[in-house]
């Protein structure tokens, strides 16, 4: 189920981003799929808890291929597909390695690793994919607001997920110990 949630959240984020106009609040621009991207980091952490780091990298590779195919099928330019794949690979790898190395309770590991992964994902995708350097959807003046908007949303989702995850994780661990 964890793997399914991880993979479906990534594909759904691509579909939502392609289908819906970005959310704009004030100066911030946030693609609608960003609402799910924060959750993908949490799902990836849950996959890693169950299957270990080595197998998690196999699932990251599968998710990367699925994401690129879906993005291309939905009509994204090769520049956007490349930027999405690159930002995904860097962010997921960084999240995995930070999550692995932190010696903190699970909720804090999820939050901190996702915070860094989300920041990298946002910066790389916006600069390489959306700025004049990439597909030229955003002028340079809008790039900081686009990055900051995505980081705020991803951080909020990571925070909510981490807060919810700790009690849920404790319940499952207590049931497993009592069996």
Which of 30-44, 120-134, 165-179 has the highest average model confidence (pLDDT)? 120-134
pLDDT of residue 171: 58
State yes or no: pLDDT of 179 exceeds 80. Answer: no
> What local confidence, expressed as pLDDT, does residue 39 receive?
84
Q: Is the dihedral of CA 43, 112, 94, 74 positive or negative?
A: positive
- Kindly state the tokens that stand for 49: 């808890």
Say what the pLDDT of residue 38 is. Answer: 77
Q: How many helices (H) and strands (E) does the chain have?
A: 5, 2
User: H helices within 74-105, ranges in order?
Assistant: 78-101
Task: Report the run of H or E that residue 23 belongs to, with start and end.
Answer: strand 23-25
Closest among 45, 56, 175 to 108, alpha carbons compared: 45
Q: What is the pLDDT of residue 21?
A: 87
Question: What is the pLDDT at residue 173?
Answer: 55
Of 91 and 24, more confident:
91
CATH 3.30.420, domain 1-174, yes or no:
no
The pLDDT tens digits for 31-88 are 888 888 878 888 999 999 999 999 999 999 999 999 999 999 999 999 999 999 999 9
User: Per DSSP, what are the bridge partners of residue 23?
Assistant: 30
Confirm whether pTM is higher than 0.85. Answer: yes
């Amino acid at each position: 189920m964890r793997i399914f949630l991880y993979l479906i959240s990534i594909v759904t984020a691509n579909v939502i981003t392609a289908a819906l106009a970005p959310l704009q609040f004030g100066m911030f621009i946030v693609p609608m799929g960003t609402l799910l991207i924060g959750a993908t980091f949490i799902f990836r952490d849950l996959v890693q808890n169950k299957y270990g780091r080595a197998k998690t990298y196999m699932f990251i590779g599968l998710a990367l291929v699925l994401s690129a195919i879906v993005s291309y099928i939905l009509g994204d330019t090769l520049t956007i597909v490349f930027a999405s794949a690159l930002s995904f690979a860097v962010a997921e790898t960084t999240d995995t390695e930070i999550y692995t190395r932190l010696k903190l309770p699970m909720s804090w590991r999820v939050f901190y690793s996702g915070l860094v992964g989300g920041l990298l994902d946002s910066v790389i995708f916006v600069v390489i994919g959306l700025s004049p350097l990439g597909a030229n959807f955003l002028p340079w003046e809008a790039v900081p607001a686009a990055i900051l908007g995505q980081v705020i949303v991803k951080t909020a989702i990571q925070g909510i997920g981490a807060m919810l995850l700790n009690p849920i994780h404790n319940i499952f661990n207590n049931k497993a110990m009592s069996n």
